Amino acid sequence: MARKKRRGRPPGSKNKASLTKSVAGMDVAQLRRYISDLQDKLAARVQQQREYFESQLAGLRIYADNKAGAAVRTLMRVPKTRKRAPAKPKYQSKKHKRLKWSGRGLMPVWMREEMKGTKLTKEDFLIK
């Protein structure tokens, strides 16, 4: 079923012709009162918009201050000067007594080479 096209102005549009007719028929005192009413309405609308935008701006300032404060706190943080103490060796080579390993990180090549082909385990290299 085809819809019928509407003719004329869309619903909700103002009838501008009647406004000009009503203004044209006013005398000077009525026009001045009408203009002052319009100015009052305009001032109220401007004030309402100003309050809205100022509240939005205040919210943005708070947000920006929080972000900036976090950035400053991060930058101003005193770097940690303490470092982890060097680990004491726990394992020692059977062949070369000067080769030692703390047990941190990857197993050293010398330990793997000495364990290869033998029944030695990591516990066999422990320093007593």
Token representation of residue 100: 């030692």
Instruction: Measure Cα distances from 4 to 7, 9, 12, 124 in Å.
Output: 9, 15, 19, 96
The predicted model scores a pTM of 0.39
Please name the residue that has the structure tokens 């197993």.
107
- pLDDT tens per residue, the chain (128 residues)? 567 777 777 777 766 666 666 888 889 999 999 999 999 999 999 999 999 999 999 999 888 888 888 887 777 776 777 777 888 999 999 999 999 999 999 999 999 999 998 989 999 999 98
CA quadruple 105, 107, 110, 116: dihedral, nearest 10: -170
